[in-house]
Amino acid sequence: MTREISDGILDHYFEVTETAMKKVKIAAPEYSHLRPIAEDFLNMARAYYSDAHYFRKNGDYPRALGAIYYAHAWLDAGARLGLFDVGGDHDLFTLAK
């Protein structure tokens, strides 16, 4: 077991999360009470994604990895709740049946 977080590990998770972010479309109708919630989930994902880049740039790989995990988790939760349309992608997202 390694205690180091390599560039390869970060590259992988940044790529997976970036792909997921491009796939996400807000599913809640514009005037639905769920629309602001969907937008908040997406904004949280974007904020953590930005934080991950910041931490990585500054050499803080543990925080970069944590932030990229959180970014993807917000996307995943939004997809599972039906806030996002992800085209039924079960590889990038943990969707319900």
CATH of the domain at 63: 1.20.1270.90
Determine, yes or no, domain membership for 25: yes
Contacts 24+ apart (CB under 8 A), 83-90: 83/26, 83/27, 83/28, 83/34, 83/37, 83/38, 83/41, 84/24, 84/25, 84/26, 84/27, 84/38, 84/41, 84/42, 85/24, 85/25, 85/26, 85/27, 86/20, 86/23, 86/24, 86/25, 87/23, 89/23
Determine, yes or no, domain membership for 16: yes
Determine, yes or no, domain membership for 93: no
Determine, yes or no, domain membership for 2: no
Determine, yes or no, domain membership for 49: yes
Instruction: Give the tens place of pLDDT for each residue, 9-37.
Output: 999 999 999 999 999 999 999 999 999 99
Rounded to two decimals, the pTM is 0.92
The domain in which residue 14 lies consists of 7-85
